[in-house]
Amino acid sequence: MKKLATAFIALTAVGALSLSACSSNDRDGDSGSKSTPTAGSTDGATGGAGFAADSTIGVALPQKTSENWVLAENLFNTDLKDAGFKPIVQFGNSGVAEQQNQIQAMVEQGAKVIVVGAIDGSQLGTQLKAAKDSGAYVIAYDRLVKNTDAVDLYIAFDNFKVGVLQGEALLKGLAERKGSGPYNIELVAGSPDDANATPFFNGAMQVLQPKINDGTLKVVSKQTGFDQVATQGWKAENVQKRFDTIMSANYSGGTKLDGVLSPNDTLARGVLTSVKQAGQTDVPVITGQDSEVESVKSIMEGVQYSTIYKDTRELVAQTVKTIKDLQAGKDPEVNDTKSYDNGVKIVPAYLLTPVVVTKENAAEVYANDPTLGPLTK
Ligand code: BGC
């Protein structure tokens, strides 16, 4: 108990420090500073007494808004079974209420660990409290859960870093493909209910805002605020609708769109469809994320400029490893105890490193990925 109390005070102190150091370009939109994950340690996340080796483990995934979630479903089922557990892996296809019911049912079935990829990170407080009250351990997977203390650990790729890499890729692509500036650009963000959408956008804007301020980048539509550029449900049809309007209002009469910040591959392809339909033949430099098969193909064809590789196998493997540690009564591995303030607590995290991919390094990056590699340039 004493050790725990000391850890809490230390964490609070770190939290206060990072709060005072925070800027508007923070990771989660609430607070937190940027840090590079250090080597794994067990500071800040405590396990428990362990549990039976054949326990039920619940995995609540969101909707299938990108390929990574489908991959995760398969991997969780296989890897948890191989480790001797009884997995319940479910998608909340019809929305928040379904996901809430699924988590509640997992608790009732005695799940010892609940892994959550939240549809809406702020709407699971009641169900996760029930999980904690039942003695289960709660892991936020890929997306942070907000405004609740009923979460023990966050395992994800470094989302703020994803945004930074996207911002940098957009600038690099513009310089490579569109000559010297100034450049006409537009911005896209992810779904406002997904806790990841803000750190992606804030990371990118940390890189892009100074270039908007100095006139290198011109957002012709003037839509620069997160709320103006967010895409409900991460749906391609929603971004397409927005771009249909943007294109006809701002890019008729010879004004060309040079570049687009897109937070993921699905939305990048939606934007490209809209730009093409608007009659612009010059492909804008566009970023993405997830290394989806169709987007990787497009990158190799010289159309989409970049994506981000967040190997789902790595993320699931780290999560399953954590579950095994918990089963054995060991403290789980964490490497960041200050960046992810969920509004109620700083959630200890294990962050993996995302990789930016363009045509230049794709073959190398995907060399060992059975879905994407081997590629030839
Ligand atoms: C994930 C992204 C994904 C998006 C839409 C985010 O929370 O981190 O990889 O593109 O959800 O599915």
CATH at residue 343: 3.40.50.2300
Cα gap 271→264, rounded to integer Å:
11
In a domain, 122, yes or no: yes
Token digits for 372?
Answer: 């994407």
68 lines ligand 1 (CB under 6 A): yes
Higher per-residue confidence, 197 vs 30: 197
231 lines ligand 1 (CB under 6 A): no
Q: Are residues 233 and 121 in the same domain?
A: no
Strand partners for 56: 86
Q: How confident is the model at residue 8 (pLDDT cuts 50, 70, 90)?
A: very low
142 lines ligand 1 (CB under 6 A): yes
Final residue in a domain of this structure, among 251, 278, 310: 310
Q: Does the structure show a pLDDT above 60 at 25?
A: no
Task: Give the nearest ligand 1 atom to 142 CA.
Answer: 8
Asked if residues 50 and 323 have their Cβ atoms less than 8 Å apart, the reply is no
Q: Does the structure show a pLDDT above 60 at 140?
A: yes
269 lines ligand 1 (CB under 6 A): no
Final residue in a domain of this structure, among 283, 310, 337: 310
Q: Are residues 173 and 283 in the same domain?
A: yes
Q: Are residues 115 and 217 in the same domain?
A: no
Q: Does the structure show a pLDDT above 60 at 13?
A: no
Left, alpha or beta for 71 (phi > 0: left; psi -120 to 50: alpha)?
alpha
- The CA distances from residue 16 to 26, 135, 338, in Å, are 14, 29, 9
Task: Give the nearest ligand 1 atom to 194 CA.
Answer: 7
Cα gap 316→92, rounded to integer Å:
18
In a domain, 192, yes or no: yes
Q: Are residues 133 and 205 in the same domain?
A: no
Q: Are residues 122 and 175 in the same domain?
A: no
Tell the burial category of 34 from Cβ atoms under 10 Å away from its Cβ (0-12, 13-18, 19+): buried
Q: Into how many domains does the chain fold? A: 2
Q: Mean pLDDT throughout 139-165?
A: 98
Compute the half-sphere exposure of residue 189: CA atoms within 13 Å on the CB side of its CA.
Answer: 25
Tell the burial category of 219 from Cβ atoms under 10 Å away from its Cβ (0-12, 13-18, 19+): middle
Q: Mean pLDDT throughout 8-27?
A: 36
In a domain, 256, yes or no: yes
In a domain, 115, yes or no: yes
- The CA distances from residue 372 to 257, 264, 349, 375, in Å, are 30, 17, 28, 7
In a domain, 295, yes or no: yes
257-296 pLDDT tens trace: 999 999 999 999 999 999 999 999 999 999 999 999 999 9
**Nearest Cα residue to 298 out of 225, 208, 237, 359:** 359
Q: Are residues 168 and 273 in the same domain?
A: yes
- The pLDDT > 70 percentage for the chain reads 88
pLDDT at position 27 is 55
Q: Are residues 326 and 254 in the same domain?
A: no
Q: Are residues 115 and 208 in the same domain?
A: no
191 C-alpha to center of ligand 1: Å? Answer: 9
Query: Both ends of the chain: CA-CA distance in Å?
Result: 57
143 lines ligand 1 (CB under 6 A): yes
Asked if residues 184 and 247 have their Cβ atoms less than 8 Å apart, the reply is no
Lowest mean pLDDT among 15-19, 229-233, 253-257: 15-19
180 C-alpha to center of ligand 1: Å? Answer: 32
Helix ranges (H only) for the chain are 2-20, 67-82, 96-108, 125-133, 159-177, 197-213, 226-229, 236-250, 265-277, 293-300, 312-327, 362-365
pLDDT at position 44 is 66
In a domain, 285, yes or no: yes
Q: Which residue's CA is the closest to the ligand 1 atom numbered 9?
A: 290
Q: 62-91: b or e for each residue (b if 16 or more CB lie within 10 Å)?
A: bbebbbbbebbbebbeebbeebebebbbbb
Predicted TM-score (pTM) of the model is 0.89
Query: What is the separation of C-alpha 75 from the centre of its chain, rounded to a whole number of angstroms?
Result: 18
295 lines ligand 1 (CB under 6 A): no
11 C-alpha to center of ligand 1: Å? Answer: 28
Asked if residues 221 and 186 have their Cβ atoms less than 8 Å apart, the reply is yes
Residue ranges making up the domain that contains 209: 159-310
Q: Are residues 104 and 172 in the same domain?
A: no
Token digits for 358?
Answer: 């363009």
In a domain, 229, yes or no: yes
Task: Give the nearest ligand 1 atom to 157 CA.
Answer: 8
User: Residue 289 — φ and ψ, nearest 5°?
Assistant: -165, 145
Q: Does the structure show a pLDDT above 80 at 376?
A: no
Q: Are residues 280 and 185 in the same domain?
A: yes
Strand partners for 309: 355
User: Helices (H), strands (E): how many in the chain?
Assistant: 12, 12
Asked if residues 333 and 40 have their Cβ atoms less than 8 Å apart, the reply is yes
Q: Are residues 118 and 219 in the same domain?
A: no
Q: How confident is the model at residue 36 (pLDDT cuts 50, 70, 90)?
A: very low
In a domain, 178, yes or no: yes
Q: Are residues 190 and 294 in the same domain?
A: yes
Q: Mean pLDDT throughout 152-178?
A: 98
Mutate to test the pocket of ligand 1, among 28, 64, 65 (most ligand atoms within 8 A of CB): 65
Token digits for 189?
Answer: 């963000």
